[in-house]
Amino acid sequence: MKDYIDKPASTREGEEIDQPRIREYLADSIPGLEGELEIKQFPSGFSNLTYLVKFGKSEMILRRPPAGKKAKTAHDMGREYRMLSALYPVFPYCPKPLAYSEDESVIGSTFYVMERIKGIILRKNLPEGMNLAPGDAGKLCGNLLDLLCALHSVDYKKIGLESFGRPEGYTGRQVTGWSGRYRDARTPDAPDFETVMAWLADKKPADSDRPCLIHNDYKFDNVVLDPDNPLKIVGILDWEMATIGDPLMDLGNSMAYWVEKNDPEQMQLIRMLPTNIDGALTRDELVERYSDKTGIDIKGFDYYYCFGLFRLAVIAQQIYYRYFHGQTKDQRFKTLVFAVKILEDTAKKVIEKSKM
């Protein structure tokens, strides 16, 4: 399984890091580093930029914000670093944070450095040559869901994260905030999403009586699998949107990425993860498992799934906005507006079938 370990590539044009400056910073900030410095970039991911930094025998991950238009509160490297520092001692599935800098003269932005969790990261399809029997696929899906339940059970107050978010009114703020972000990032070729936004505002449920630490982007390509046992999850990555909030909102966001084998063709077109393989659990099975594990009532979950689809569309539209206005040259972003249209259509179908 060693050949399936996630590998970086050359740094993209315009996203290079000043090697002499970062070498000096790392040598001063992290004890024991010595040897040659090598920097590569992980090509996947549409949000914060992620680099592999090899300093002699040490391997670290550097995270920094992208260039161009960004949501006001997004890409807060300091917030992400402080959260990981509090969480790691009790939940070692998150990366161990090593250093954080607000000095933008070092690489042109704030950034932080963490230990690398080395392993397999699943993308759109299983790596070439890697196969999972249907039974194993089901076990992996179950393990993914169970680890989310474990995260939601962390006592965030006990580890000093009580001020990390405001659970009161969380869902309402999310609907209002993401609606504003969509309208702000909308381009002339994008759908208006007004029907979906109005329904979400009108049908929003009461605050959860079990607020918890939520990841907010929990999915297969944000977890790391053990190379020697790919059914075992050894790490969770990309904590930039973590906060204190409604656990069902977290689950709904995850389910928005979950394209099943029997989903309509247009959803298959925007599938980003291998959630369609034989034996993979369905959305309904995962949601039922979550309820069984946590005791949380899942009645009305279609609301949270619809919100997840909408939020995913906003994220895609914000990225497409940067491409549309020439703020990035990354050609992967060129067709994201079509995904936005498919997500609006899917969200409308959820609303049509909803009994809320």
CATH classification at residue 164:
3.90.1200.10
Question: Mean pLDDT across the chain, nearest whole number?
Answer: 94
Q: What's the pTM value of the predicted model, to 2 decimals?
A: 0.91
- Domain ends where: 82, 115, 148? 115
Assigned domain for 348 exists: yes
Q: Please write the tens of the pLDDT for every residue from 291-317.
A: 999 999 999 999 999 999 999 999 999
- Domain ends where: 85, 115, 145? 115
Assigned domain for 120 exists: no
Instruction: Summarize the confidence of residues 106-130 as an average pLDDT.
Output: 94
* pLDDT above 60 (res 69): no
Is 66 in the same domain as 160?
no
Is 187 in the same domain as 329?
yes
Is 110 in the same domain as 139?
no
Is 15 in the same domain as 105?
yes
Which residue type is seen at 288? E
Q: What radius of gyration do the chain's Cα atoms show?
A: 20
pLDDT of res. 45: 58
Q: Please write the tens of the pLDDT for every residue from 181-220.
A: 999 999 999 999 999 999 999 999 999 999 999 999 999 9
pLDDT of res. 73: 47
By CB atoms closer than 10 A (0-12, 13-18, 19+), residue 329 is exposed
Between the two ends of the chain, the Cα-to-Cα distance in Å is 46
Assigned domain for 336 exists: yes
Is 238 in the same domain as 287?
yes
Is 207 in the same domain as 335?
yes
Is 97 in the same domain as 139?
no
Is 32 in the same domain as 147?
no
Q: What CATH number has the domain bearing residue 31? A: 3.30.200.20
Give the whole-angstrom CA distance, residue 56 versus residue 110.
24
pLDDT of res. 75: 60
Q: What percent of the chain has pLDDT over 70?
A: 96
* 77/1: higher pLDDT: 77
Is 141 in the same domain as 233?
yes
* 168/15: higher pLDDT: 168
Assigned domain for 128 exists: no
Assigned domain for 129 exists: no
- For residue 71, name the pLDDT band (cuts at 50, 70, 90): very low
Is 140 in the same domain as 111?
no
Give the whole-angstrom CA distance, residue 300 versus residue 356.
7
- Domain ends where: 60, 81, 115? 115
Is 96 in the same domain as 167?
no
Assigned domain for 154 exists: yes
DSSP letters, 322-350, are: HHHTTS---GGGTTHHHHHHHHHHHHHHH
What are the residue ranges of helices labelled H in the chain? 19-29, 77-87, 134-152, 170-185, 194-203, 247-256, 265-269, 283-294, 301-324, 336-353
* pLDDT above 60 (res 251): yes
Q: What percent of the chain has pLDDT over 90?
A: 87
Weakest-pLDDT range from 33-47, 94-108, 198-212, 240-254 = 33-47
Domain that holds residue 317: 134-353
Assigned domain for 124 exists: no
* pLDDT above 50 (res 157): yes
* 223/332: higher pLDDT: 223
Instruction: Summarize the confidence of residues 241-257 as an average pLDDT.
Output: 97
Assigned domain for 148 exists: yes
Is 85 in the same domain as 178?
no
How many domains is the chain partitioned into structurally? 2
